[in-house]
């Protein structure tokens, strides 16, 4: 699974639970967790001073996840790769990468890559990229600090120009028109339940959004629905995208940041400062533009 498949767990955890009580105190109804036991010694070398002394830090990034993080041969590429390098450069050290696969939910990803480590082999990273930020969800995972908000992501619809020469498609069209989604993503869940399931027969599910965009370009489907960045990266001369209102969509836009082990707050502060400077001087927006993407500013 990928991040878009993990996000529904975050939605359930808090992103869709918006109301006056949470606006006042998003952690008001949270019962503190039991402190983790038997955490391994793989945290050695994560404090900021040690990282600076050793000259490098490690970032966990999602594998095979263009345009955000992937490998061309042995060369890491992607938006998150370049932002991680920017952060490390700001600290005066080298960025190194661990490519990870998404677990069953975001809490498991944070456990495996930030504060405890995988059950078999491997070790935790200093920073994990592309973490959806939510003030209610952060209460559920006390072992991580959520910081460094560097962008927002939102749901959009890509479409074939010849299929929609005049009106651009909206979700209601998919009661009759074919649409590509990433399997088990929030777009998949939304369209499956749309209008009592009337769009279900027209949903074409793919393992990755890049496969769905390839199907759109090939004419197999008329449209695709998913995160704007992934759709933009897959656009061709015969396709385009737009962002119509999405009635009933609990979370059509979210903020992205990083996670750091809660024991290393000085590192978290340094990472956030580096991101803030790069947002202010336009370096993060320039990274997005390098990949043909629109940088959507985060809520900070």
Show me where the domains of the chain are located: 3-12+46-152+254-290, 154-242
Question: To which residue do tokens 């024991």 refer?
Answer: 263
Residue 9 pLDDT exceeds 70? no
41 pLDDT band, cuts 50/70/90, is very low
24 pLDDT band, cuts 50/70/90, is low
Percentage above 90 pLDDT, the chain = 74
For residue 182, list its beta bridge partners: 206
Q: What 8-state DSSP symbol labels residue 190?
A: H
37 pLDDT band, cuts 50/70/90, is low
293 CB-contact burial (10 Å; exposed 0-12 / middle 13-18 / buried 19+): buried
Three-class SS of 7-19: HHHHHHHHHCCCC
Dist. CA 128–CA 36, nearest whole Å? 19
What pLDDT does 146 receive? 96
The pLDDT tens digits for 119-139 are 776 789 999 999 998 878 888
Q: Are 153 and 207 in contact (CB under 8 A)?
A: no
What pLDDT does 292 receive? 96
Question: To which residue do tokens 């929030």 refer?
Answer: 186
> Across all residues in the chain, what is the average pLDDT?
88
Provide the terminal-to-terminal Cα distance of the chain, rounded to the nearest Å: 28
136 CB-contact burial (10 Å; exposed 0-12 / middle 13-18 / buried 19+): buried
- Number of Cβ within 10 Å of residue 235's Cβ equals 15
User: What is the assigned CATH class of domain 3-12+46-152+254-290?
Assistant: alpha beta
What pLDDT does 43 receive? 52
C-alpha dihedral sign at 256, 261, 262, 267 = negative
How do beta strands 144-160 and 253-261 pair? antiparallel
For residue 203, list its beta bridge partners: 179
Residue 42 pLDDT exceeds 70? no
250 pLDDT band, cuts 50/70/90, is confident
Same CATH topology for 3-12+46-152+254-290 and 154-242: the answer is: yes
Residue 4 pLDDT exceeds 60? no
User: What is the assigned CATH class of domain 154-242?
Assistant: alpha beta
What pLDDT does 33 receive? 62
Mean pLDDT confidence for 142-160: 96
Residues 6+ apart with CB under 8 A from 245: 170
Dist. CA 46–CA 126, nearest whole Å? 6
What region, left, alpha or beta, does residue 133 occupy, with left being phi > 0 and alpha being psi -120 to 50 degrees?
beta
Dist. CA 227–CA 288, nearest whole Å? 14
How do beta strands 203-206 and 179-182 pair? parallel
229 pLDDT band, cuts 50/70/90, is very high
Dist. CA 77–CA 167, nearest whole Å? 36
- Number of Cβ within 10 Å of residue 256's Cβ equals 22
Q: Are 15 and 132 in contact (CB under 8 A)?
A: yes
What pLDDT does 35 receive? 56
The model carries a pTM of 0.87
Does 67 sit behind a cis peptide bond, omega within 30 degrees of 0 on the bond before it? yes
Least confident of 75-89, 96-110, 201-215, 217-231: 96-110
User: What are the C-alpha distances in Å from 205 to residues 167, 175, 232, 234, 280?
Assistant: 24, 15, 19, 16, 39
What pLDDT does 94 receive? 97
In 3-state terms, what secondary structure has residue 279?
helix
Question: To which residue do tokens 């042995």 refer?
Answer: 74
Please give the biggest Cα pair distance in the chain: 61
Our CA dihedral for 222, 228, 229, 235, rounded to 10 degrees, sits at 30
Mean pLDDT confidence for 238-250: 93
240 pLDDT band, cuts 50/70/90, is very high
């Amino acid at each position: 699974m990928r991040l878009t498949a993990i996000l529904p767990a975050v939605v359930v955890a808090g992103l869709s639970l918006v109301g006056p009580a949470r606006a006042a105190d998003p952690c008001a109804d949270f019962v503190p967790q039991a402190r983790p036991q038997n955490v391994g010694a793989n945290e050695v070398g994560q404090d900021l001073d040690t990282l600076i002394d050793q000259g490098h830090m490690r970032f966990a990034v999602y594998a095979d996840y263009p345009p955000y993080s992937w490998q061309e041969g042995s060369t890491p590429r992607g938006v998150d790769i370049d932002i991680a390098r920017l952060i490390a450069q700001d600290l005066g050290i080298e960025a190194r990468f661990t490519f990870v696969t998404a677990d069953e939910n975001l809490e498991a990803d944070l456990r495996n890559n930030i504060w405890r480590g995988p059950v078999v082999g491997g070790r935790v990273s200093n920073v994990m990229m592309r973490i959806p930020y939510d003030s209610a969800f952060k209460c559920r995972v006390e072992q991580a600090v959520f910081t460094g908000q560097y962008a927002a992501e939102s749901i959009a619809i890509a479409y074939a120009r010849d299929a929609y020469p005049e009106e651009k498609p909206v979700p209601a069209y998919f009661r009759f028109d074919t649409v590509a989604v990433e399997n088990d993503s929030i777009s998949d869940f939304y369209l499956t339940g749309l209008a009592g399931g009337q769009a279900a027969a027209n949903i074409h599910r793919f393992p990755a959004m890049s496969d769905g965009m390839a199907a759109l370009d090939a004419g197999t489907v008329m449209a695709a629905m998913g995160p704007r960045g992934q759709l933009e990266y897959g656009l061709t001369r015969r396709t385009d995208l737009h962002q119509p209102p999405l009635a009933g969509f609990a979370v059509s836009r979210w903020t992205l940041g990083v996670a750091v082990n809660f024991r290393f707050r000085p590192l978290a502060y340094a990472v956030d400062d580096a991101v803030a400077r790069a947002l202010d001087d336009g370096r993060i927006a320039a990274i997005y533009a390098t990949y043909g993407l629109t940088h959507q500013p985060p809520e900070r």
